[in-house]
Amino acid sequence: MNTIRHTDEELVRYYLATQKSDYFGQLYKRYSNKVYRRCLTITKDPTDAEDFMQDIFVRVLSGLHNFKEKSTFSTWLYTVSTNYCMDRMKLGRRRSDWVELDSEVVKTLAETNEYANLEERYQLVDLILEKIAPSESMYLRMKYEDNMNIREMAILLQVKDSAVKMRLKRVRDKVKDILVFYQLY
């Protein structure tokens, strides 16, 4: 029997028109491993990655009408997956991370002697990046490590330029607040 392979976008349209689960099932088969690997990259925990993957596909199924074909389905799914995992990781963070930062920053300050060494500054930046939410550090890393401009970031994240600018400003302000709080700025 000759099976026709439909594009992702066709499967989405067919599912939305008919509500037949086999169309969505084909999308699930195509992308479940990729979504799982994306979740595992972010969570570093196979059990969480599996749970997150299932939650993502439930959300995608119920929100499939939000897919407007402004990008490919795979890009949209990647964005949904990344955002979901980042949000869940952010929710899982504990206040104890801030207490840990206090002792580490004090130790770093004692050893750096007012940031005399550039390497020590980089270590302090890495320490702070580890203590903010992964989604927040992602913006900083894209901007300063990957040297991406606002437009490139907006395209990759599928948001408006203004959203990238605002998120970057908020993250910078948060880092500045951390530095001020620990009297490093």
Quick one: 68 and 116 in the same domain? no
Q: How many domains does the chain have?
A: 2
Quick one: 79 and 128 in the same domain? no
Q: What is the DSSP letter of 2?
A: P
Residue with tokens 């840990």: 100
Quick one: 172 and 104 in the same domain? yes
The predicted pLDDT at position 100 comes to 42
Contact present, 53 and 39 (Cβ < 8 Å): yes
| pLDDT (tens place) for every residue of the chain, 185 residues total | 446 788 999 999 999 999 888 899 999 999 999 999 989 888 888 998 999 999 999 999 988 888 888 888 988 898 888 888 888 887 765 433 444 444 555 555 445 444 345 556 666 666 676 778 888 888 887 787 777 889 988 888 889 999 999 999 998 888 887 777 665 54
Contact present, 15 and 23 (Cβ < 8 Å): yes
Quick one: 73 and 111 in the same domain? no
> Is 160 part of a structural domain of the chain?
yes
> Is 2 part of a structural domain of the chain?
no
Quick one: 73 and 38 in the same domain? yes
Question: Can you give the pTM of this predicted structure?
Answer: 0.51
- Tell me the C-alpha distance between 27 and 9, whole Å: 10
Domain boundary among 49, 71, 92: 92
Name 67's Cβ contacts closer than 8 Å, sequence gap at least 6: 12, 73, 76
> Is 1 part of a structural domain of the chain?
no
* Structural domain containing residue 170: 96-181
The predicted pLDDT at position 118 comes to 54
Read off the CATH number of the domain in which 155 is found. Answer: 1.10.10
The predicted pLDDT at position 57 comes to 92
Quick one: 63 and 113 in the same domain? no
Read off the CATH number of the domain in which 39 is found. Answer: 1.10.1740.10
Q: Dig out the tokens for 9 from the structure.
A: 């976008």
Quick one: 88 and 107 in the same domain? no
